[in-house]
Amino acid sequence: MHSVFNVIPGDFFTILGSKNRNQAVYSELLLKIYNLFDNEISYRILRDIVRDTIAAYLLENHIEIQGEDATELGLESDWNIKANFIIRRFVQAGWLEEETDDTTLEKTIVMPDNGIALAQFIEKLKRPTRLEFSVSINTIFNTLEHWAQGEQNPYKLILTPVYDEARKLSSALKKLATSIKKIIEGMLREGSLVSLTENIIKYCDGDFIKEYSRLVQQQNIHLYREKISRRLEEFKGIGFFGSLTQSVMDEEGCSRSAAEDKVVRMLDSTRRFIHDDYNKIMKRIKDQINAYIKIAVARERILRNKGKDNRGNVEETIRYLVQNFDEDKLNKIDEEIQYLFHIHDYEFVDRTSLQYPHKNQSIQSNIEADVIEMSVEERERQKRQLQNESYNPYSKELMKKFLDSQSVNGKIDSLNLSLNEKKDVLASMAAVTYARENGYLIEIDEDFVESDEFKIRHWRAKKDVNN
């Protein structure tokens, strides 16, 4: 049996194993080495350059080798020694190959096919590329329309590119449909209105909705669907089908019946996707978008009502329960009620609602109090204290004086008011609140007035001549 493990070294995945505590560092270093070969056609580069790149990364990020690798490395603190150790680990795993140049006798590092494939896979996972869906449809249509350009080998130049492009588009759409599931799962975990709002904003500004919007706005599959299907059916005709079958036989070395089955399967699979599967996937995406919106609305209602005081109903229930407890058990009722109602599991019952029922208090006896007459000085002192306690620096009357003092020809602009202290901000807000009652008309602008610490809405006021 042919297996992938027959063509890769036995330790190829050991570095990325769960027991290796350096897996994140090693995968990042593999990408850095892979990027060194961008301008190297042969994927061959001097070993010293690779070593210096690894050492610089370890030094800049203060990374230490951990686990079994650290034990094997020992207590060496030299960064070049650590870099050389990592190169040896990569060579042992089959990620890299070490060679010696026959002419200069310099050691070089080569990245084999397996290492390149792994680096590209990690890079794709880290920074996934997004397929522009409309491009795939155009590619399929143009390839089928320009049949003549691939007449020499229609299987490799026409049928295979069309089939692969349809599969690639199908896979990309399925990934798009799957990504909305993660967004919905995130919505279900939101625990406050603030985070819920941030989730919705992130959704509206995110890659998913942008891709879906472009896909819906550029529904070119509907423009080319019939033409693509007609061309695929034509390929089942006598002339086209025979040429395709012969091309498969030449490329794959298979029998005519096997070649015919393969051609029919590829044509039917492509046509089925364009006509049926595409619409099903799009319907699934649309249904999930509707589900997201419904869940967002439901979640908002739950969070808005969370902690609402259902004291009346709870109190009535507890009144019924406590009448069956004697005085010795009343001290334990808090604990027992907690377990009875599972207080931490329910959304709409809060601790403040679990209170003992209020009892009507009857007058037991008359209460008499001795009246002591205060001296003149004491009355004056109490009077001043009450005046100080009742003084409101932002009262309606004081705000009228404030507006009048700031008025220039009957007009006031908040741009001209001080915002250096908190009291200035409060005075500005109170002035707007009482403006109409104090005979001023207020206009609120969309912009803001800002200082180093404060920010308020820009407003203007003018004296109401009719008042």
SS3 for 405-443 is HHCECCEEEHHHCCCCCHHHHHHHHHHHHCCCCCCEEEE
What does the pLDDT read at residue 128?
A: 65
Q: Rounded to an integer, what distance in angstroms lies between the CA atom of residue 32 and that of residue 56?
A: 11
Q: Is the dihedral of CA 459, 461, 466, 467 positive or negative?
A: positive
CB of 393 within 8 A of CB of 401? no
What does the pLDDT read at residue 382?
A: 78
In terms of DSSP H, where are the helices of 61-159? 67-73, 79-93, 113-126, 133-145, 154
State the DSSP code for 67: H
Q: Rounded to an integer, what distance in angstroms lies between the CA atom of residue 226 and that of residue 271?
A: 10
Residues of the chain with pLDDT under 70: 1-7, 9-11, 17-21, 39, 42-43, 67-68, 70-77, 128-134, 150, 214-220, 305-372, 467
What does the pLDDT read at residue 248?
A: 87
β-partners of residue 268 are none
**Of 231, 247, 272, 256, nearest in space to 160 by CA:** 247
What does the pLDDT read at residue 401?
A: 85
What does the pLDDT read at residue 354?
A: 45
What does the pLDDT read at residue 351?
A: 44
What does the pLDDT read at residue 356?
A: 44
What does the pLDDT read at residue 71?
A: 66
What does the pLDDT read at residue 191?
A: 74
What does the pLDDT read at residue 332?
A: 52
What does the pLDDT read at residue 235?
A: 84
Which residues are within 8 A (CB) of 47 and not within 5 positions of it... i.e. 6 or more apart?
87, 98, 106, 107, 108, 109
